[in-house]
Structure 1
Amino acid sequence: MASTQDEQPDAPWHAAYPDPTSDVVFISREDVLALLNDSTLVAGKDYLLVDLRRNDHQGGTIRGSVNLPAQSLHPILPTYYNLFKAAGVRKIIFYCGSSGGRGCRSGGWFGDYLASQNDSDMQSLVLQGGIKGWVKAGKEYTDKMLEYNADLWA
């Protein structure tokens, strides 16, 4: 079927939602590694890593992460917020492949929701460089992954 100039290409998935207004706050992979290495902290209790990948969720994920695809996040932000708040989680760390699109957008949306709740106890953070940066940082980082498959990262 031929395309006409009047037809618009399919809008990206995030076009249905407002642009985030909160500034994105990045956390370095070194700081996340320090959280993982701190035996006094527990993933899912003291901090939560949120892997936003959906179809590209291959090759492993950072230990302690939950997979919440970015495409499903915005409509259920209040539910996630209530779960995180009830659990006492203070740092929510979002990441995707490079944390340039889905990571920043989701971190911003969650930051917006925190602001709407006047919640200054919880932080919305984005892993700088995403999972790709994590893997490229070397063995010290890939050792902290579940189901790491080096062949898929080659």
Structure 2
Amino acid sequence: MSSKASEATNPPTSSEAPWYAAYPAARNKNPSTLSRVDLLASIKEGKKPGKDFVLVDLRRTDYEGGTIRGSINLPAQSLYPTIPTLYTLFKEAKVGTVIWYCGSSRGRGNRAAAWFDDYIDDRGDSDMRSVVLVDGIKGWASAGRDCVELMDEYKEEAWRK
């Protein structure tokens, strides 16, 4: 098993370091959050992913059951080295908010939001925000029809596990 195994589906054994151990710990220990109610309200107000904000789905091996419409998939295991490039792309596109999520947004989602927030802070950028979606895709998929209708490739059976 590779040390890059997904922490959500393949927890590290006692002799194996988790994938994120290869990167520095985030200084931000408590990244900002966004509730699915607030995200849903923004979408219903006409704000669009990819234009008004960016949604980043961090799942890799557990990427199943669908994703929030308009999300990009950037597996967490490959994220850290790409942060400078992502920041430049998002800045040039005038993205104000980057919303990170994984299965539950308690591991990868928090870590990504914190790393990206550290990078934003290091640039002195007060125009961009990095937030984690509370309860991740599992919370979104179980929140009812309004949320499910805004998912691509939704498969109900994947969420009954």
- TM-score of the two chains, using structure 2 as the length reference: 0.88
Amino acid at match of 2:44: N
| Percent identity between the two aligned chains | 53
Q: Deviations over 1:42-74 (max 9, x none)?
A: 211210000000011100000110001111110
Q: 2:124 is matched with which residue?
A: 118
Superimposed CA distance per residue, residues 12-60 of structure 1 (whole angstroms, 9 cap, x where no aligned partner): 0000011111231010001111122122x22112100000000111000
Per-residue deviation, 1:9: 1.0
User: Do structure 1's residue 147 and structure 2's residue 153 form an aligned pair?
Assistant: yes
Q: 1:21 aligns with which of 3, 27, 30?
A: 27
TM-fit CA distance, 1:136: 1.3
Q: Which ranges of structure 2 fall in alignment gaps of 5 or more residues?
A: 1-13
User: Structure 1 counterpart of 2:81, which letter?
Assistant: P
Give the superposed CA RMSD: 0.9
Which runs of structure 2 are paired with 1:4-19 in the superposition (5 Å)?
9-19=15-25
| Cα deviations by residue, 1:114-133 (Å, 9 ceiling, x for unpaired) | 00110110000000000001
* Structure-2 residue corresponding to 1:60: 66
Give 4+ residue runs of structure 1 displaced > 2 Å after superposition.
Answer: none
Q: Which sits farther off after the overlay, 134-143 or 100-109?
A: 134-143
Distance 1:34 1:86 in 2: 26
Give 5+ residue unaligned stretches, structure 1: 1-7
Equivalent position amino acid for 1:111 in 2: D
For the pair shown, which has the larger CA radius of gyration, 1 or 2?
1
Give, in angstroms, the shift of residue 138 of structure 1.
0.9
**Count of aligned positions:** 146
